[in-house]
């Protein structure tokens, strides 16, 4: 399908925007969200501006659910030009803002905001890409990528979901780019590395649009020609399945390859029973030959 070397006819970009209200930059100053959102919309429009056949989808990711912000399901909004902006861009902007308001309003009031459902949103994005590929006219070379813009920290709670999504994306030749607004995200960075995307932690939120346009706008095959921030060392620690903690050394089930930080007699994933061997027998050291 997508080929990294050949320029594609059409490029599909799915942007996942984390709108979770408990992100640090939002709790500190809620107005910053508007700025970031404007930057993301301008970036989305610049993607559409590249080629007439480029496609776009935006997914809003909240703590209770993820939803398409653009394109809106059903009939598109009837938008007339109000200023010199290209009509399509106005439509994108209006739709995203309107649907985001709906999404935020629909959040349950009594619950404390939990973790953003990023893995779920990515799975939605992959479904969207798969659908677009199916519907694309034969002979059209479509390249697709996912961009995640988030300020939340990644916890290992969704570790398995993340890994499933990453490897599916790799298989589908979908690039995953991550733009972190706040903290270093080691899990998502793994995803970028696996799928061949780029990872960037934005040093300051003021220049967000410039960073987006610089690093994430060029397509995969264009990136080879450009000098872009390099991929640093990637932290490939896995999270254990029992306490979701990142490990360097742990126990692995020999049947299903689940990772545990402590030894357990029954694997919680595949229910394999392991014999309790007691403490590992200490091999008597071979006596060194005396000279």
Partner 1 sequence: MSESSKSKSASNINPSPTLQCKDLHEYLKSRSPQFLETLYNYPTICLAVYRELPELARHFVIRLLFVEQPVPQAVVASWVTQTHAKEQSKACEALSELSVWQEAPIPGGLPGWMLAQSFKKNLKVALLGGGRPWSMSSSLEPDGKARDVAFLDAYALERWECVLHYMVGSAQTEGISADAVRILLHAGLMTRDAEDGTAVITRAGFQFLLLSTAKQVWLFLQHYLHTAEKRSLSAAECLAFLYQLSFSTLGKDYSTEGMSNNMLVFLQHLREFGLVYQRKRKAGRFYPTRLALNITCVKDGIAPLEAAASTGYILVETNYRVYAYTQTTLQVALLGLFTELIYRFPDVVVGVLTRESVRAALRGGISAQQIIRYLEQHSHPQMLRSETAGIRTSSVLPPTVVDQIQLWESERNRFTYTEGIVYNQFLSQAEFGVLREYASRCGFLTWHSERARTLVLTRAAHDDVKRFWKRYSKSS
Give contact residues for partner 1 (rule: CB under 8 A): 7, 9, 42, 45-46, 49-53, 80-90, 93, 137-140, 209-210, 213-214, 217-219, 222, 224-227
Q: Choose between 83 and 110: whose C-beta lies nearer to partner 1.
A: 83
To the nearest whole angstrom, how small is the minimum distance from the Cβ of residue 80 to partner 1? 6
Residue 139 Cβ, how far from partner 1 at the closest point, in Å? Answer: 4
By C-beta, is 38 or 235 nearer to partner 1? 38
C-alpha 110 chain-centroid distance: 28
Q: Is 13 helix (H, G, I), strand (E, B) or coil?
A: strand
Whose Cβ is closer to partner 1: residue 214's or residue 251's? 214
Residue placing its CB nearer to partner 1 in the complex, 42 or 261? 42
H or E element, residue 15: strand 10-18
Residue 210 Cβ vs partner 1, minimum distance, rounded to whole Å: 6
User: For 249, left (φ over 0), alpha (ψ -120 to 50), or beta?
Assistant: beta
Q: Which is nearer to partner 1, 13 or 259 (CB)?
A: 13
**Smallest distance, Å, CB 114 to partner 1?**
35
Q: What is the CA radius of gyration of the chain?
A: 23
CB of 75 or CB of 112, closer to partner 1: 75
Any residues with CB less than 8 A from the CB of 194 and at least 6 apart, and which? 166, 167, 169, 170, 176
Cα 78 to Cα 280: distance, rounded to the nearest angstrom:
71
Q: Which is nearer to partner 1, 9 or 115 (CB)?
A: 9
**What SS3 state is found at 278?**
coil
| Min CB(131)–partner 1 separation in Å | 17
* Contact in structure between 46 and 217 (CB atoms under 8 Å): yes
CA 69 – CA 67 distance, rounded (Å): 6
Supply the minimum distance, in Å, between the C-beta of residue 177 and partner 1.
16
Distant-in-sequence, close-in-space partners of 101: CB < 8 Å, separation ≥ 6: none
Contact by Cβ (8 Å): 200, 229:
yes
CB of 145 to partner 1, least distance (A): 15
Phi, then psi, of 12 in degrees rounded to 5: -105, 125
Question: What token pair was written down for 41?
Answer: 């919309």
């Amino acid at each position: 399908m997508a080929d990294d070397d050949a320029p594609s006819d059409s490029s599909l970009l799915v942007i996942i925007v984390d709108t979770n209200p408990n992100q640090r930059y939002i709790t500190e100053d809620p107005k910053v969200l508007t700025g970031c959102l404007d930057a993301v919309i301008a970036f989305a429009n610049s993607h559409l501006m590249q080629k007439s056949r480029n496609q776009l989808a935006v997914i809003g990711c909240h703590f209770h659910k993820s939803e398409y912000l653009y394109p809106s399901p059903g009939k598109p909004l009837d938008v007339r030009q109000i200023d010199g902006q290209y009509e399509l861009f106005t439509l994108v902007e209006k739709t995203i803002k309107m649907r985001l308001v709906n999404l935020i309003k629909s959040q349950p009031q009594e619950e404390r905001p939990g973790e953003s459902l990023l893995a779920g949103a990515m799975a939605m994005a992959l479904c969207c890409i798969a659908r677009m590929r199916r519907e694309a006219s034969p002979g059209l070379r479509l390249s697709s990528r996912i961009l995640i813009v988030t300020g939340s920290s990644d916890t290992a709670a969704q570790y398995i979901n993340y890994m499933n999504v990453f490897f599916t994306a790799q298989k589908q030749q979908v690039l995953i780019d991550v733009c972190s607004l706040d903290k270093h995200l080691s899990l998502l960075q793994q995803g970028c590395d696996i799928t061949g995307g780029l990872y960037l932690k934005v040093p300051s939120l003021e220049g967000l649009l410039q960073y987006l346009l610089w690093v994430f706008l060029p397509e995969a095959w264009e990136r080879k020609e450009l000098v872009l921030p390099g991929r640093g060392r990637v932290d490939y620690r896995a999270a254990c399945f029992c306490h979701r903690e990142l490990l360097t050394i742990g126990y692995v089930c020999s049947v299903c390859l689940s990772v545990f930080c402590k030894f357990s007699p029954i694997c919680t994933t595949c229910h394999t029973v392991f014999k309790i061997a007691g403490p590992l027998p200490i091999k008597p050291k071979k006596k060194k030959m005396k000279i």
